[in-house]
Structure 1
Amino acid sequence: MSRTLVIGDIHGGFKALQQVFERAEVSVDDQLIFLGDYVDGWSESYRVIQFLIELSGKQKCIFIKGNHDAWCEDWLSSGTDPDVWLFNGGKSTVESYADYSLEKTHTHLEFFQRMKNYHVDHENRLFIHAGYSSMHGPEKEVYSSNYRWDRTLWETAVAMDKTLQKNSALYPKRLLLYNEIFIGHTPTLYLGIPYPANKANIWNMDTGAAFTGALSIMDVETKEFWQSDPLPSLYPNEKGRNNDSL
């Protein structure tokens, strides 16, 4: 039976991606929705992107663009590598591309350019990397960068009074637009939670794979999830993004 599986921030952790695919027993019948930040952190960003390109030729995949992906796209397109990117995981991405041809690099650029800002499915579930600020939803967002950078959506859900009813005038209007919202971007580790976290109708799938956490994959219907080993144990001679915070 086919499933819809959502995958959190990978950050160059190809070994973790392989593990969660094995543990979730992903098949070609499954639809896969990736929430972005495929690169920057561990040493295998190139391998992650190459794997995803090949995977998309075998089964239905939806790729959301994260803030780190936008940085990498700019670098592949123009060759610019701003310090803020290099200091926040970009250096490992540049190094991972060092031995590959321009032809391969161009294929990867086209892959980044095809990524979506967000996706809404037939059950009115929103999949987006970070969030949005508009009370009318992401399609009315003034600043498209919010899709990849906004943390206020998640912070609102975290700070909410759990007893607040949806018919209350105080209930955040943004959260009423969708049945469920799946995000990444802000590690659940910031709340001391090592697994996918649910606040209001938001599921946060970023379980800190860039830092000391694991990579997570979840069945959007049943909420069953699977995780890799913590990334530092898979890359014992690397630091990932443990020296930065964006």
Structure 2
Amino acid sequence: MRTLVIGDIHSGVKALRQLMERAKVTTSDRLIFLGDYVDGWSDAVETVNYLIELDETHSCVFLRGNHDELCVKWLADDEYNPVWLQHGGEATLNSYAKADDDVKDIHLMFYKNLTNYYLDGKNRLFLHAGFTNLKGVEHEYLPHVFYWDRTLWELAQSLHRDMGKGDMHYPKRLSLYEEIYIGHTPISKVDIAMPKKAANVWNMDTGAAFKGPLSIMDVDTKEVWQSDPVHMLYPGEKGRN
């Protein structure tokens, strides 16, 4: 079984389907999705439909992203957030305008069943954004940190590349886990980028909401597959701002 981790999709189901073919994904693979399934391109409903279908045939882990949380607040409570609309939410709202109530109810259940983090048997942590508690994710006080925090990636990038876990100054929260996989902060918004490692943190957000591709990686071998730049699959659309 391969364990494959997938970066932020942002309604780019065409890129995800392309990746499934390029990585030759089979039902024996475990798929870990890092969140932000919607907000960006025009296929929000189609993206979630595809993820729900995948869950029926594959071993999937679906993590919660900040955009997913913003979307569920609108679906569940009709809560309009102007900032959400400006950062991809308008495309999601337009997509759901064509969906009936049954589809919305099924999707609402999908969003509500998302999890904040996943820790595998090799002590590898997967989450959308980060955490701040020095004792680890189990002790995090504020759940929204898991899908909004940017300090974890900022911390990892600030370390000298030669600093290892044995160094007395190595950050405690990084030392708790063998590896940490996140999305949330695009490595680049304008160029094609590969997943990037800083300390023991892997950032899988290669800018699929902007000018970059969607990425999938085998966490054991570190082999990476990428889609075409997602904006090329959605000509005439602006994606996220």
Instruction: Please classify the TM superposition score into its range, dividing by the shorter chain length.
Output: over 0.9
- Letter matched to residue 97 of structure 1: Y
Whole-angstrom distance in 2 between the partners of 1:218 and 1:57 = 22
TM-aligned CA deviation for residue 165 of structure 1: 3.1
Q: Are residues 1:113 and 2:112 paired? A: yes
> Could you tell me whether the CA contact under 8 Å between 2:64 and 2:147 is conserved in 1?
yes
CA RMSD of aligned residues (A): 1.2
CA contact (8 A) 2:11 2:37 kept: yes
The answer to whether structure 1 residue 125 and structure 2 residue 124 are counterparts is yes
Tell me if 1:82 matches 2:95: no
Taking every aligned residue pair, what percent have the same amino acid on both sides? 53
Partner of 1:24: 23
- The SS at the match of 2:52 is helix
Cα distance between partner residues in 1 of 2:156 and 2:124: 16
What is the distance in 2 between the residues matched to 1:193 and 1:93?
24
Flag the 1:36–1:196 CA change in 2: closer, same or farther, 3 A: same
Tell me the residue number matched to 1:235: 234
Give the secondary structure class of the aligned counterpart of 2:57: coil
SS state at 2:32 partner: strand
1:57 maps to what in 2? 56
Q: CA deviation at 1:139?
A: 1.3
Secondary structure at 1:5 match in 2: strand
Give the TM-score, by structure 2 length: 0.97
- Aligned pair count? 241
Alignment of 1:1-246 (within 5 A): 2-189=1-188, 194-241=193-240, 243=241
Give the letter for the 1:57 counterpart. E
Runs (4+) of structure 1 exceeding 6 A deviation are: 190-193
Q: Deviations over 1:23-50 (max 9, x none)?
A: 0011111110000000000000110001
SS of 1:167's partner is coil
Q: Deviations over 1:122-157 (max 9, x none)?
A: 000000000001111111111111100111111111
**TM-score of the two chains, using structure 1 as the length reference:** 0.95
Q: CA contact under 8 A between 2:190 and 2:210: conserved in structure 1?
A: no
- Quick one: distance in 2 between partners of 1:91 and 1:5? 30
1:177 Cα shift?
0.4
CA gap of 1:191–1:201, structure 2 versus 1, over 3 A, is: farther
- In structure 2, what is the Cα distance between the partners aligned to 1:234 and 1:104? 25
For 2:237 and 2:230, locate their aligned partners in 1 and report how far apart those are by CA, in whole Å. Answer: 10
User: Counterpart of 1:181 in 2: which secondary structure?
Assistant: strand
1:168 Cα deviation after fit: 2.0
Paired AA for residue 124 in structure 1: N
- Inter-partner Cα distance in structure 2 for 1:192 and 1:97: 30
Gaps of 5+ in 1: none
CA distance in 2, matches of 1:41, 1:51: 16
Deviations 1:150-208 (A, max 9, x none): 11111111110112232222111111000000000001116977011011111110000
User: Whole-Å Cα distance in 2 between the matches of residues 234 and 171 of structure 1?
Assistant: 42
Contact 2:66 2:147 in 1 (8 A): yes
AA aligned opposite 2:237: E
